[in-house]
Amino acid sequence: MLKSNKLAIAFYNFKLRHPRFVMATLVFIIIPVVSGLALGYEMKADVPTSIPTVIVNHDNSDFSRKFTRFIEDSNYFDVIEYADNDQRIKELMDKDQAFAGIIIPENFYSDMRLGNAPKILTLYDGASLSVVTTCKTAMSEILLTTKAAYMMSIFEGKLSTVPEQVMNMVAPISVNYKFLYNPTKSFRNYLLIGMLASVIQVGIAMQGAERGYENQIGPRTYLNQIKVVSGWSAMSMFSIILCLGIQYLFFDMPYRSTILGGLIITYLFAMCILNMGYIVGNLVPDRTFAIQVAAILVLPTSVLGGYTYPIEGMPYGYEVFARGIPFFYYGNWIRSLCLKELHLNDLAVPLQYFTKFILAELIIILAITLFKNWWRAKYKDGLGVTPIV
């Protein structure tokens, strides 16, 4: 206990002497590494598996039991209960103990043999859409397989044909579904890439606000300010690359496109966000409030920028707004860089956007610098106050 107290005191004293170094290490190294490892391990399975499922089998024929064994053998489902009433499925879903349910009606097999087309009812917990997406697809495949197997047994008993011919009669149209770029339908490859960047951009904006506030205390020339934001943007880019690199090295995240293109758009995105924080820190006279404003400014952009919910489904006004957010271009394009095979010339759209956005930010920083220089020159014999805009 005494030893741990000494370490805590030593760290506290070190932090007092080197606050910038400690914060930069925390934001640019520790948070990316911890976030990358924690979230990467959390989504290691790529897709939801062992989804709690309840089955109500009113038929209890050999065929219906064979069907339920298909579900038990699937990695996607974990049959937690064979219930004797339909209401039980809803009760378990209400308690978040089940996310899928199957009701097999009475006389299911006999009705099927008579050609009455009995209906199996499948239920999904719509409050958990990510789980539903996976289990609905898996359930559809099992049902199609079961139907094809039954039809083949019927035809093979009536016709003297080989199984391949029977299969062609059962399924006269063959359809292949192929997911390009993300064939395993991995949630990790779809969501995590941009989500990690959205977490790190908050720290980048906060660091930008710190540097902007430092400029209020000790004003720099415009050229020196450009050097400061360029250097800290490079640190910010390193932070994002470090976080995504962990996914690549330890969790098999793919990266199939140009490395140079990825580095360039990551650097430009980092500069966009850092400059936003820098401008806020340069204007707001309170350090803590400036950092809070900068963080709040970028916090919701992963949702507003159309990364988790596509902008094509948003109202027109939101869609226009989303196209003005840096994260809209970075989140979607860094995901494409990881999953697709893009070249540098394919990145014209985000490169043009980032260039224009950064130029606009640099003009704003220049205007603020000129205004403050004019203010100080005008009131050099007065109160000597720093202008508060």
Tens digit of each residue's pLDDT (9 = 90 or more) over 320-364: 999 999 999 999 999 999 999 999 999 999 999 999 999 999 999
- Look at residue 1 and tell me whether its pLDDT is greater than 60: no
Of residues 270, 244, 271, the one with CA closest to residue 337: 244
Q: Report the share of the chain in percent with pLDDT over 70.
A: 90
Strands 51-57 and 121-124: unpaired
Confidence of residue 176 (pLDDT cuts 50, 70, 90): confident
Q: What is the pLDDT of residue 237?
A: 95
**SS3 category, 243:** helix
- Look at residue 227 and tell me whether its pLDDT is greater than 90: yes
Regarding predicted confidence, which is higher, 21 or 153? 21
Q: What is the pLDDT of residue 108?
A: 87
Q: What is the pLDDT of residue 345?
A: 93
Stretch among 73-77, 113-117, 147-151, 153-157 having the lowest mean pLDDT: 153-157
Q: What is the pLDDT of residue 6?
A: 78
Q: What is the pLDDT of residue 155?
A: 66
Residue type, 230: S
Tokens for 253, please give them: 């995240």
- Look at residue 208 and tell me whether its pLDDT is greater than 50: yes
pLDDT average, residue stretch 95-99: 89
Regarding predicted confidence, which is higher, 294 or 109? 294
Regarding predicted confidence, which is higher, 386 or 31? 31
Stretch among 14-28, 156-170, 295-309 having the lowest mean pLDDT: 156-170
Q: What is the pLDDT of residue 130?
A: 73
Count Cα neighbours of 130 within 13 Å in the Cβ-side half-sphere: 13
Sign of CA dihedral 67, 69, 73, 79: positive
Q: What is the pLDDT of residues 259-316, one digit of tens each?
A: 999 999 999 999 999 999 999 999 999 999 999 999 999 988 878 888 888 888 888 8
- Residue pair 307/334 in contact (Cβ under 8 Å)? The answer is no
pLDDT average, residue stretch 186-198: 88
Q: What is the mean pLDDT of the chain?
A: 86
C-alpha 369/C-alpha 371 separation (Å) is 5
- Residue pair 244/36 in contact (Cβ under 8 Å)? The answer is yes
- Look at residue 191 and tell me whether its pLDDT is greater than 70: yes
- Look at residue 168 and tell me whether its pLDDT is greater than 70: no
The 10 Å Cβ neighbour count of residue 117 is: 7
- Look at residue 5 and tell me whether its pLDDT is greater than 50: yes
- Look at residue 32 and tell me whether its pLDDT is greater than 60: yes
Q: What is the pLDDT of residue 140?
A: 80
Q: What is the pLDDT of residue 214?
A: 93
Q: What is the pLDDT of residue 338?
A: 94
pLDDT average, residue stretch 5-18: 80
Q: What is the pLDDT of residue 334?
A: 94
Q: What is the pLDDT of residues 34-86, one digit of tens each?
A: 988 988 888 877 888 888 999 999 988 888 888 888 888 888 889 999 998 89
**SS3 category, 387:** coil
Strands 121-124 and 100-104: antiparallel
Q: What is the pLDDT of residues 238-267, one digit of tens each?
A: 999 999 999 999 988 999 999 999 999 999
Confidence of residue 386 (pLDDT cuts 50, 70, 90): low
pLDDT average, residue stretch 90-106: 90
Confidence of residue 389 (pLDDT cuts 50, 70, 90): very low
Domains and CATH numbers, the chain: 19-43+186-379 (no CATH), 51-170 (3.40.1710.10)
